Structure 1
Amino acid sequence: MRRQHLGKFLLALTAALLLVMIGIATSTQAKLFIVNQMALAQDMQRYTAIAYGSEAEQRLDIYTPLNSLSAGNLPVVVFFYGGCWGACETLPKANYAFVAQTLTLHGIVVVIADYRLFPKVRFPSIIDDARNAVEWTHQHIDQYGGNPKQIFLMGHSAGAHLAAMLAMNQAYLSTETYADVSGFIGLAGPYNFLPFDEAYMPELFGPPLTERESQPITYVDGSEPPSLLLYGAADTRVKPVNIEGLYKRLEAANSVVNKRIYQGVGHADIIASFSIPLRRENPVVLDAIQFIKSIQTK
């Protein structure tokens, strides 16, 4: 018993110290490094740098619960990270192991994909990479214990835009893959951001796309998978009109959609909710897991 109490005390002390370190860290990269070191020490299986295309950036990592191969048919989350599609600080897939670790605890297989970034490429090349990562997942995830007929698309910020583009516009994915997309989870995503308010956007989303074709809200027609839109009321990066606009459009189309607005939560806070120090009883995490489980049991 004494050993158990000591172990719990040490875990609590470690978590407290790490929270202090995260608070002291001055950059997003430093904060993510800390939470990832915690995540990588946890129980999960990791398969890294799997090619879904021929370019160096077209690689993905897969995280599974330790019993995934024997359990099989586990729900799958394909997660896309943000960073202004490359126009601002963008950190590669390895920095988001903490998201995967939290989800694998709930029996979910997680795929996190890198993709080519602006200004090296622009749309539609970026969304092509996102599409190809999902297509690869649909074809191969059963080899890792995932259920290819239960894929959830999830992203934060610009990554939520990519996931939403695939979820809202069924023309991007093959008919078979789109039919097996069970839901979309957007964390503080830009879905309705015209007119462009950043100098890089006209070039990023320029021809052959029109401005409207760059907006996930454009494609809503009622055929979408269920959606969960998560947003922090203290977000100063992505405007509320993005969440409200997409929510209202989906509702009007009789699509299944829910939204959650969290008071006091900022743009980075909403993704940080998945980190080990912050995830305990965190409503962002609980809402995402409940959404996945509710569809899983239907």
Structure 2
Amino acid sequence: MPLFLKVFTHHQKKLLLVAVYAAMGISAVPVPAAAGSLRDKIMERRQEKQEQKAAQNAKSDGDQNEMSDADTTNISVAGLPPGTRVLRDIAYGSDQRQTLDVYLPAAVIAHLDMPVIVMVHGGAWKVGNKTARGVVENKAAHWLPKAYVFISINYRMLPDTRPLEQADEVARALAMAQGRAAEWGGSRSKFILMGHSAGAHLVSVLASNPAIASKAGASPWLATISLDSAAYNVKQIMERKHYRFYDDAFGSDPAYWQAVSPSLLLKQAAAPFLAVCSSIRPDKPCAQAEAFVTKAKSLGMLAQTLPQGLSHADINKNLGLENAYTAAVDKFLKEVDSSLP
């Protein structure tokens, strides 16, 4: 036994060893109840740091890209197919943050009535940017050559705009994009709503309560793809031990928790829904995703879960690469509409 352990009691030794194991990422060890609680705290703090780091990276990437690409159109963007055309900062509201970017395939690929993907970035409802590489690059590189239009949106965030109002902004962006789709060669009837993390929560709110989108002037869309949301049942999250950033987003009012919980909002069948989830995150987002999908199926809705052994960040940035994950998303879209490229 190491000399330093001799000064601890037997119980303290167990707690110390569990803390060391947890810090090393080792979980397959006997864990007493008190030690399990300590390990949970360590894992919780680690996940919070990962969320914060991902959000900071998204903000950093967005700032860098915005500096290099601001006020430019009809350019080839690094990492995207040659001939990609980009329409930057198209306003859908009066605030400078209410803008979107439209990525169009090269003229030799583009044609009329193309399907349109609208992407909503994440960042704990408080940071992030539509130009971040993980949000755009691989997805656009995959779907533009298939003759899709790809749109990435910004929206106002915490602390001045709360999640329910953010969902309304996404709906307004969707409505504007549908109204102008023909200008870009897109089909109003072939919109796919996609979001990651906080953005996944926002598109899930719209999917479960389409009246929000309808009120904003949006038409029904073809499908919703949620990339690793862990907030389908916000009420359940807030009534249990949870990450502190959820308090910033959802506050302390149970009525508000109800109003932003996709699982509780879902009352009738809506557009087909794909819930991608990380099977390796400590907060187990796949459990909430599966509960939502089960309820959706019971209402007669086409809904699927797609668990992936990827980190929260990789769920976002790896979509579009040549891998089984991207192939599974394409397969889902074909099931929704066999005419999709």
Q: Residue 159 of structure 1: CA displacement?
A: 0.6
SS state of the match for residue 174, structure 1? helix
Letter in 1 for 2:249: L
Whether the 8 Å CA contact 1:69–1:144 is kept in 2: the answer is no
Inter-partner Cα distance in structure 1 for 2:163 and 2:154:
15
Instruction: Check 1:151–1:82 CA distance in 2 against 1; reply closer, same or farther (3 A cut).
Output: same
Inter-partner Cα distance in structure 1 for 2:108 and 2:211:
31
Letter in 1 for 2:313: A
Whether the 8 Å CA contact 2:91–2:99 is kept in 1: the answer is yes
Letter in 2 for 1:186: S
Inter-partner Cα distance in structure 1 for 2:156 and 2:216:
25
1:254 and 2:296 are equivalent in the alignment: no
Inter-partner Cα distance in structure 1 for 2:109 and 2:160:
38
SS state of the match for residue 75, structure 1? strand
Instruction: Check 1:108–1:73 CA distance in 2 against 1; reply closer, same or farther (3 A cut).
Output: same
Q: Which residue of 1 aligns with 2:43?
A: none
Inter-partner Cα distance in structure 1 for 2:167 and 2:314:
25
Could you report, residue by residue, the CA deviation over 1:217-270 in whole angstroms, capped at 9, with x for unpaired residues? Answer: 1122232101111122112366332211111111221211112112x3111111
Instruction: Check 1:209–1:122 CA distance in 2 against 1; reply closer, same or farther (3 A cut).
Output: farther
Q: Paired residue for 1:286, among 309, 318, 327?
A: 327
Q: Which residue of 1 aligns with 2:6?
A: none
Letter in 1 for 2:154: D
Q: Paired residue for 1:28, among 32, 57, 78?
A: 57
Q: Which residue of 1 aligns with 2:268?
A: 222
Q: Paired residue for 1:191, among 229, 232, 236?
A: 232
Q: Paired residue for 1:211, among 247, 257, 276?
A: 257
Inter-partner Cα distance in structure 1 for 2:112 and 2:220:
16
1:243 and 2:289 are equivalent in the alignment: yes
1:154 and 2:194 are equivalent in the alignment: yes
Could you report, residue by residue, the CA deviation over 1:29-80 in whole angstroms, capped at 9, with x for unpaired residues? Answer: 578879x974246442111100000001000001111138951101111110
Inter-partner Cα distance in structure 2 for 1:124 and 1:244:
23
Whether the 8 Å CA contact 1:148–1:180 is kept in 2: the answer is no
Inter-partner Cα distance in structure 1 for 2:100 and 2:298:
36
Q: Which residue of 1 aligns with 2:129?
A: 92
1:270 and 2:315 are equivalent in the alignment: yes
Whether the 8 Å CA contact 2:100–2:152 is kept in 1: the answer is yes
Instruction: Check 1:28–1:41 CA distance in 2 against 1; reply closer, same or farther (3 A cut).
Output: farther
Inter-partner Cα distance in structure 2 for 1:179 and 1:131:
10
Inter-partner Cα distance in structure 2 for 1:274 and 1:261:
13
Instruction: Check 1:123–1:133 CA distance in 2 against 1; reply closer, same or farther (3 A cut).
Output: same
Whether the 8 Å CA contact 2:84–2:103 is kept in 1: the answer is yes
Inter-partner Cα distance in structure 1 for 2:107 and 2:300:
38
Inter-partner Cα distance in structure 1 for 2:336 and 2:290:
23
Inter-partner Cα distance in structure 2 for 1:48 and 1:210:
34
Inter-partner Cα distance in structure 1 for 2:110 and 2:263:
40
Inter-partner Cα distance in structure 1 for 2:300 and 2:246:
31
Could you report, residue by residue, the CA deviation over 1:137-161 in whole angstroms, capped at 9, with x for unpaired residues? Answer: 1111111011011111111111111
| Worse overlay, 147-156 or 226-235 | 226-235
1:71 and 2:111 are equivalent in the alignment: yes
Whether the 8 Å CA contact 2:196–2:228 is kept in 1: the answer is yes
Q: Which residue of 2 aligns with 1:15?
A: none
Inter-partner Cα distance in structure 1 for 2:108 and 2:210:
29
Q: Paired residue for 1:142, among 182, 205, 209?
A: 182
Inter-partner Cα distance in structure 2 for 1:127 and 1:175:
12
Inter-partner Cα distance in structure 1 for 2:334 and 2:298:
25
Instruction: Check 1:69–1:144 CA distance in 2 against 1; reply closer, same or farther (3 A cut).
Output: farther
Q: Residue 180 of structure 1: CA displacement?
A: 3.2
Q: Residue 209 of structure 1: CA displacement?
A: 5.4
Instruction: Check 1:68–1:247 CA distance in 2 against 1; reply closer, same or farther (3 A cut).
Output: farther
Whether the 8 Å CA contact 1:138–1:177 is kept in 2: the answer is no
Could you report, residue by residue, the CA deviation over 1:99-118 in whole angstroms, capped at 9, with x for unpaired residues? Answer: 22322122211111000011
1:53 and 2:113 are equivalent in the alignment: no
Inter-partner Cα distance in structure 2 for 1:164 and 1:42:
33
Q: Percent identity?
A: 23
Q: Which runs of no fewer than 5 residues in structure 2 stay unpaired? A: 1-53, 70-76
Q: Residue 216 of structure 1: CA displacement?
A: 0.9
